Structure 1
Amino acid sequence: MAVTSPTVTSAAPSPVPAVALGTVLAATIAQGMSGASVWLIPAGLALVLYLVAGWPGIRPVPRLLVAIGIAVVVAAMIRRGNAAPLPEAVARASFFAAFPVAMTLLREAAVTSPLMLRASRYLVNQPPGRRYWALTWGGHLIGLLLSFGALTLLTTMIRQSNTTADARIRDIREKRMVTAVMRGFITMPLWSPTSIALIAILQGTPSLHWIDVAPVGFALAATIIVLGWLVDRLQYRPRSVAPVEADPGPWTAVLGLAGLILALTALCIATAWLTGSSLQLATMLVVPLFTLAWATAQAWTGPAAWRAAIGRSIGQIGGAARASFPAGRNETALFAASGLISAGAVDLIPAGAAPWLVGLFAGHPGLFLVALVWLVVALALAGLTPMVTVALFASALGQSPPPELDPIKLAVALAGGWALSVGVAPLSNSVLLVAPLIQRTPIEVGPRWNGLFSALALALLSLGLALF
């Protein structure tokens, strides 16, 4: 008689992380909309529960930063002689942790959307003359909805579509297509209302609003994208005879994607105006509802089955959250630590430190901003994520900036340092995500592929900050 082995089934993921992060999101929105500090209690407790549950799987660096954040808040309370810094620290840590949660929910609806897949296929299969523009703007626009999921989606499609027999041409094409996507994606933090980078900067600079920074940030993003195209053209001369490409399909898919992005942005702005809240808070409120509506539209089979469509959508989003929320423990720990450090450090920095630092540059605040940008990039190359440095610098300088320091320029400088570091630093999330997808090393994808572009973009940004 044959002996059969017992079937081994993998255990379903624990619901604790999903429930905890969902509670952080809901309590943070409630606190922001109502102004009632009592909501900080469930937000803080749920965040602690999430971190404790996922602590064994959190890497050493995020663990260390969480410990540093707690120590900074404790030191701030000791210095002030009361617990006043604690509510602000909990509020900021919860906000930084909750905002990516909302974007993760949006990503779960987007990755199953036929429209998103058609738009991505259209971008990847463009002929050589238009491919760079298509992919760099595609990485930028899809990143608004998918965040890092845009890199995964487009890089995977690039890998699948790049089937040229000539290995040399295949490698060059892969490099050009991947760098195009990355160069478009990394400029998103300069202006996007869905970017955690700009959220961290605006949280640390109360005098600024999104609309103050977005026009300048978008202009800088477009300039850097053009620079990336010029670098690509100079490095790779166009072929006289272009190979035949796959049919990219109808361009209406990209138009539909752009319409979705415009609709989401308009809803967030309208909600912020109607509720009198910040755009960041309005985005956290709108995105989960937008996600449910988008997923329901995908499951829609007719007016008579609308309840079933909503039920399937809730099940899809809930199941995805249960699977993906535990996997984001390192990023969540990092975001929470950045909130703690940036909130607590304000009380530990001497009141005259910012004017003194600016004064070291002989009354030229532009040169100070240039040094700040280079410091953010240098620390990122050394392994310290810009999430921590930018949040800290924004809080230290943005709470009460020296009169000669323009808050908008400060925000653009910090966002620029963030953007230019994540495309070149070998330990940045974007490089670490892309490299294994195409079986390359982080050193190759980061410094080797994007080093020249990043250096030129950094020089261009520095020149603009110094002169204007």
Structure 2
Amino acid sequence: MFRNLLPVAIVLELTALCLSNLYLSAGAGVLFVLYFCVALPQLQIYSRYLFLISLATVGYLAFRGSLAGGQLLKAASDAAFYAAFLGSLGMMQCLVRRFEVLRRIHDVLLGGRPGWLYPKYAVVSCGIASVLSFGVMSLLCGTLSDTLAERGIRGKSRLRWLRSVLISSLRGFALVPLVAPTSVAVAIITREVPSLSWSGLLPYGVVAAALLILVGWLLEQRRFRIVSKERVKLEAWPAGSRRLVVVVLAVFAVMALLVATTELKVSAAAMLAVPSVTFLYMLWTDRQPEQAVRETVANVAGMHNEMAIFAGSAGLGAALGEVMPNDLLVGLVSGQAGVFLLAVAALLMMPLMSAVGVIPITVLSIQAGLLPPLIAGGMDPLLISVALVIGFSLAMMLSPFGPAVMLLSRYGQVSRWTVAFGWNGLFVLLALPILIGFLGVLYLTLPV
């Protein structure tokens, strides 16, 4: 019974988006909170305690009068939006069992010249994640685990496969905030700063993504050459490859139509397009509506840990952002170099906080909530917004409690500390000065 609350809450939030109704959205937030309270014993430890801390903090702030009714509505609405964001985009995970090309994706990606394998994995992982969201990590991690087990690859060879293939997949997934319209980071920033759009951030995100791919390629290319010797070569593309391309193009076409004909942002359009196209495809191929509904409910329920993290983080970030002084940072943007220093601090804060267990969405929710007063003070939000999406990208790689790292750790049977710091620590340390230099170039060329 309570299992059905998740898809009902998602549908209610999607309806609220279409109607621009804050009360419906807050109602969806209440349904999410009710579900997570009931399902608390089934949640993973980190998801459980983050949700409880968020609920207790919001409740305390409301009890002492720091949050008014409208602010509570916004916190509930934000929790609903980001939980539904993950749940709706994760619907495309239902396509995995219907396409052989997704089941054999590693054999497909390991084809070609060994020197191009790292950038290929990173770009393809980013592309799939733009539609599948966190489903890409389940797809790439799960299929690699099965592939290694089937072929009897063990010991050092298995660890090398995991280190090369999965870490490049994680880094590719972390590029999504920089380039994809379906990124939760873009959704948060454009929700707080309506004057900004994904297309306005895209050119700078593409450059930052290219720099990150270059750093990763320099670190991983030798290891990938060894892995490529153990691959199984395909004689032709697996069946259904063209159909999958058509389905993905249909998703983006519906998104484009919604953005062109309504006032919806790209992220909201994605939340409507992905589940709609996926569910229609399921009905068309299986011709079993009841089975499609059951599979949808099961798919959403399988993401309840990640959705609890998103809902709790978003609600907590919105509540803390409301109680912070509006003029907290206004004085910093009056100096000549103040905006640049603020951008660098914004970039560094997310990976540093993520390294100690505060996941990126919480930090970004608070940071983005501080932007409107700065804009009202005359600051152009572009430079700091670019810094925020870069910081969010780096934080996704360094967060040992983040959903992506936890999935990689679970499927690869490797410590999440090894994934976050052992495999990604040097990468982030090398990338940071390059990205800060990129921000410096933008500061000298953009109006602030």
Place the TM-score, normalised by the shorter chain, in its bin.
Answer: 0.7 to 0.9
Residue 133 of structure 1, aligned match among 119, 140, 152: 119
Which deviates the most, 104-113 or 91-100?
Answer: 104-113
CA–CA separation in structure 1 for the residues paired with 2:51 and 2:263: 35
- Structure showing greater Rg: 1
TM-score between both structures, scaled by the size of structure 1: 0.83
C-alpha distance in 2, partners of 1:322/1:256? Answer: 25
Instruction: Please state if 1:232 is matched with 2:220.
Output: yes
Q: CA shift at 1:377, angstroms?
A: 0.8
Distance 1:322 1:401 in 2: 42
- Residue 397 of structure 2 corresponds to residue 423 of structure 1: yes
Equivalent position to 2:41, from 49, 52, 56: 56
Shift of the alpha carbon at 1:403?
5.0
Instruction: Supply the RMSD in Å over aligned alpha carbons.
Output: 2.9
Partner of 1:296: 283
Question: Which AA in structure 2 matches 1:437?
Answer: Y
Matches within 5 A, 1:24-43: 24-40=9-25, 42-43=27-28
CA distance in 2, matches of 1:373, 1:207: 21
Once the two structures are overlaid, the 10-residue window that deviates more, 376-385 or 25-34, is 25-34
2:57 is aligned with 1:68: yes
CA shift in 2, pair 1:379/1:168, >3 Å: same
Q: Is residue 2:257 matched to residue 1:270?
A: yes
What CA deviation, in whole Å up to 9, does each residue of 1:24-55 have, x standing for no partner?
22222222222344524642442232122212
Rate the CA distance shift 1:262–1:366 in 2: closer, same or farther, 3 A.
farther
In the TM superposition, residue 344 of structure 1 has moved relative to its aligned partner by 3.0
> What displacement does 1:434 show?
0.9
Tell me how far 1:130 sits from its aligned partner: 3.6
- Are the structure 2 counterparts of residues 73 and 210 from structure 1 closer, same or farther at C-alpha, using a change threshold of 3 Å? farther
Q: Distance in 1 between matches of 2:155 and 2:24?
A: 58
Report the CA distance between 1:369 and its aligned residue.
Answer: 0.9
Q: What is the TM-score of this pair, normalised by structure 2?
A: 0.86
The letter of the residue matching 1:406 is: D
Percent sequence identity is 24
C-alpha distance 458-111 of structure 1, shift in aligned 2 (>3 A): farther
Moved more, 364-373 or 163-172: 163-172
CA distance in 1 between counterparts of 2:441 and 2:323 reads 33
Following superposition, the deviation at residue 284 of structure 1 comes to: 1.9
The match for 1:103 among 89, 94, 99 is 89
Q: Do the aligned partners of residues 34 and 460 (structure 1) sit closer, same or farther apart at CA in structure 2, a change above 3 Å counting?
A: same
Residue in 2 that maps onto 1:318? 293
Q: Equivalents in 2 of 1:242, 1:274: separation in Å? A: 46
Q: CA deviation at 1:266?
A: 2.6
1:111 CA displacement: 4.4
Q: Contact 1:425–1:431 at 8 Å: present in 2 too?
A: yes
How far is 1:247 from its partner? 1.9
Using a 3 Å threshold, how does the CA distance of structure 1 residues 231 and 258 change in structure 2: closer, same or farther?
farther
Q: Which residue of 2 aligns with 1:379?
A: 353
- Correspondence for 1:439: 413
Unaligned runs of 5+ in 1: 1-14, 300-308
Report SS of the residue matched to 1:406.
Answer: coil
How many residues were matched structurally? 435
In structure 1, the partner of 2:180 is: 192
Work out the CA distance in 1 between the residues paired with 2:197 and 2:211.
Answer: 22
Secondary structure of 2:370's match?
helix
Unaligned ranges ≥5, structure 2: 443-448
Amino acid at match of 2:126: H
Equivalent residue in structure 2 for 1:286, among 273, 280, 296: 273
SS of the aligned residue for 1:426 comes to coil
1:63 Cα shift?
A: 1.4
Task: Say if 1:256 and 1:188 are closer, same or farther in 2 by CA, change over 3 A.
Answer: farther
Describe the superposition over 1:142-196 as per-residue Cα deviations: whole angstroms up to 9, x where unpaired.
2223222222322333344455879545533432222221221111122322222
Partners of 1:224 and 1:404 in 2: how far apart? 32
User: Does the 8 Å CA contact 1:144/1:261 hold for their aligned counterparts?
Assistant: no
Equivalence for 1:88: 74
Q: What residue identity is the alignment partner of 1:377?
A: P
Secondary structure (helix, strand or coil) at the match of 1:353 reads: coil
Mapped to 2, the partners of 1:443 and 1:454 lie a distance apart of 15
- The residue that corresponds to 1:4 in the other structure is none
Report if aligned partners of 2:339, 2:384 keep a CA contact under 8 Å in 1.
Answer: no
Partner amino acid, structure 2, of 1:328: M
Alignment of 1:406-417 (within 5 A): 406-417=380-391
| 1:104 CA drift (Å) | 2.2
